[in-house]
Structure 1
Amino acid sequence: MQELDTGLEAQPGFISAHMVAERAGVSRSAVSRAFTPGASIAPETRKKVMQAAAELGYQVNDLARGLLANRSRLVGLVASDPASPFRTQQIAALSRRLVERGSVPVLIPTGSGEDQVKAAHSTLLRYRAEATIVLSGMPSSSLVELAQRNGQPLIVVGRTEHGPDHIRVDNARAAQIAVEVFVARGLRKLGLIISAVGSPNLIEREEAFVAAAAKQGIKVRTQAAGYTDYDGGQAAASLLLGTGDTVEAVFCVNDLMAFGLMDYARDVLNLSIPEDLSVIGFDGIPEARWGAYRLTTFHQDEEILSNEIIKVLDQRQADPKAPPIVSVIEAPLVYRGSVRSLKSDG
């Protein structure tokens, strides 16, 4: 077996397979066979190669091998909001798991537009990435078709459409629980804070919360803001709470918006949380535990999500022609101090 000569090994500081072969007194092909699982090589020859490699500090050129095999160990992580707290945790956890698996994670930040996500995926295909994982954005049918034509696994997170393998949180169940928690505490004047981003996860949470409330005979006051961040939470709070109409409890589609809402309610309107206003968030980012917020929130465990992504990736590579894999993860509600307790109801 020959190792592809890309010129990369000639760079200063890189120990080449040719140098190992010379030191061990064997052919270069013997070096390649020594580092190829299952390849035929005499035990004594392999021992010589490994000793020479250890003495020189040689590392296998995985990029060259990937080009030979028409597939690298790169796994692309496509994300439109990598700086947000939840996405940062998700990327860190998933990257650790991929490295443990022997893969090389590559983060490609994009905008939320379809063209930008498609361009990122095309780049990964050119580099023969073994898979693309879309952590945010809206992959189009053409992107899915492109992946299928090239035989590359495509896993999307937080989506529901048919086609690629996808993993999502059970938003509908979480929204239903949020309504049940509020109603059990006698809170029926409900508000909902969303953003104009319109991602599938956020839309699911909004629609499910409104529907669950309607079953209780409650009409939800919904307020949207431009972005799903702290400033968006403040802006939405000023419109939702600043009208004079009483709102007793608010479900926020993520924790950052909940933080903005809580600070506006306390600092501007002098409301007490949870006595005057109960708040539930979504994501369970570390800041939700901080004393300033003590936010009751649905926790998306990044380790559980990462393990599930790896599981789906392994299943897909083991059976490329299997039907699309759909995995739904629960997000348990973590109670803290932003929701009125049951025992305090009068």
Structure 2
Amino acid sequence: MGDKEDTEIPGLPRYISAHEVAERAGVSRSAVSRTFTHGASVSVATRAKVMRAAEELGYQVNDLARGLLANRSQLVGMIASDTETPFRSLQIATLSRLLIESGRVPVLITTDSTASGQASHAKLLRYRAQATVVLSGMPSRAFIELAQRNGQPLIAIGRNEEGPDHIRVNNKLAAATAVQVFAARGMQRIGMVTSAVGSPNLLEREQAYVEAARAAGLDVFVERAERTDYEGGSLAASLLLSPARRVEGVFCVNDLMALGLMDYARNMLGLRIPEDLSVVGFDDIPEAGWGAYRLTTFQQSVERQAREILHILDLRLASPSAPPIVTQLDVPLIMRDTVRSMKVDRTVPTP
């Protein structure tokens, strides 16, 4: 009787089986299995026969079947929203590359609130994915709880549920730094642009920014668009930058909103940046460094984040019952051209 790896399903493409490799090599079926199992005992001569036969036939190991037999595959799920945005696409591409380099297979599930989207999330559990990385404020807490009940390791980025391993960014320090940047330049009326998405990251940035502004004695105004994108930044700018408010500096919760705000301020209101309005973003997407923007922004390194995800994944697989791992990454401020220079007192003191 063959094992699951050799099972053929009517109507699906036929793949070369391990049994055929064994016949071509003149060895047992178990010898083929041991040859392709890391650390298994097999003689040099047998290994050479099997590898030669596999190459001649074009045989590929059925890792999915092996993973199901072991009750865990090499699949690593990535659940993400807004996959078309620059930061998210870089985040997915970088993590996918490092997962492949580590011998794993990344699977992307785009998130939404529909029944079909929720069913796609649950499929990761049925395929016994090695782990799931939640890259956005969705899916719902219900999925997080379902995954935990099924024993699947979860690494959550920018979320706050109890139980999963977490990677967070230092939103509070970034928001307070943005206020300090504006206050140090003598600004008294500052603003913030965010959205109604309500993810933990955005809420934390908003709360910390408003608290720091009020503690510094500054007037602070907050405007929210429906989405955290370029159009949202433009819309929020139309509400925030009224002549009556005389806002001097704006902190945007991501770079896309900052770019939308800058273009609206320049093209629709005739404001000069940074002379009339200073702008600080968050993420440091490639577009932030383009000559048309040269945006001052807080840098989220997708490379550093992805490497931290793999580090946590290795730790979790080595110690499944260890307490949740929580890592916080700093986001350094990259100064470019959208914040006005500090005034320097050039008065020569009287001797």
Global fold match (TM > 0.5) = yes
C-alpha deviation, 1:161, in angstroms: 2.8
Matches within 5 A, 1:174-185: 174-185=174-185
Question: How far apart, CA to CA, are the structure 1 residues paired with 2:292 and 2:158?
Answer: 29
Question: How far apart, CA to CA, are the structure 2 residues paired with 1:4 and 1:56?
Answer: 16
Sequence identity of aligned pairs in percent?
A: 63
- The alpha-carbon distance between structure 1 residues 275 and 86, as it changes in their structure 2 partners (threshold 3 A), is same
- The alpha-carbon distance between structure 1 residues 117 and 136, as it changes in their structure 2 partners (threshold 3 A), is farther
> TM-score normalised to the size of structure 2?
0.92
Deviates further, 259-268 or 119-128: 119-128
Aligned match of 2:147? 147
Aligned match of 1:264? 264
Question: How far apart, CA to CA, are the structure 2 residues paired with 1:148 and 1:270?
Answer: 53
- The alpha-carbon distance between structure 1 residues 310 and 33, as it changes in their structure 2 partners (threshold 3 A), is same
Question: How far apart, CA to CA, are the structure 1 residues paired with 2:186 and 2:195?
Answer: 27
Answer whether contact 1:85 1:285 (CA < 8 A) is retained. Answer: yes
Residue 157 (structure 1) aligned with residue 147 (structure 2): no
Aligned match of 1:97? 98
Question: How far apart, CA to CA, are the structure 1 residues paired with 2:64 and 2:24?
Answer: 23
Aligned match of 1:26? 27
Answer whether contact 2:197 2:228 (CA < 8 A) is retained. Answer: yes
Answer whether contact 1:189 1:246 (CA < 8 A) is retained. Answer: yes
Question: How far apart, CA to CA, are the structure 2 residues paired with 1:15 and 1:227?
Answer: 49
Structure 1 stretches lacking a partner, 5+ long: none
Secondary structure in structure 2 of the residue aligned to 1:320 = coil
Q: Across the two proteins, how many residue pairs are aligned to each other?
A: 345
> TM-score normalised to the size of structure 1?
0.94
Residue 254 (structure 1) aligned with residue 254 (structure 2): yes
Question: How far apart, CA to CA, are the structure 2 residues paired with 1:116 and 1:324?
Answer: 30
C-alpha deviation, 1:12, in angstroms: 5.2
Structure 2 stretches lacking a partner, 5+ long: 347-351
Question: How far apart, CA to CA, are the structure 2 residues paired with 1:345 and 1:191?
Answer: 27
Aligned match of 2:202? 202
Aligned match of 2:53? 52
- The alpha-carbon distance between structure 1 residues 243 and 341, as it changes in their structure 2 partners (threshold 3 A), is closer
Residue 192 (structure 1) aligned with residue 180 (structure 2): no
Q: Which amino acid aligns with 1:91?
A: I
Aligned match of 1:134? 134
Question: How far apart, CA to CA, are the structure 1 residues paired with 2:84 and 2:141?
Answer: 27
Matches within 5 A, 1:1-346: 4-7=5-8, 14-111=15-112, 113=113, 118-343=118-343
Q: Which amino acid aligns with 1:4?
A: E
C-alpha deviation, 1:23, in angstroms: 1.4
Q: Which amino acid aligns with 2:50?
A: V
- RMSD (CA atoms): 2.1
Secondary structure in structure 1 of the residue aligned to 2:219 = coil
Secondary structure in structure 2 of the residue aligned to 1:4 = helix
Answer whether contact 1:230 1:257 (CA < 8 A) is retained. Answer: yes
Q: Which amino acid aligns with 2:106?
A: P
Answer whether contact 1:233 1:258 (CA < 8 A) is retained. Answer: yes
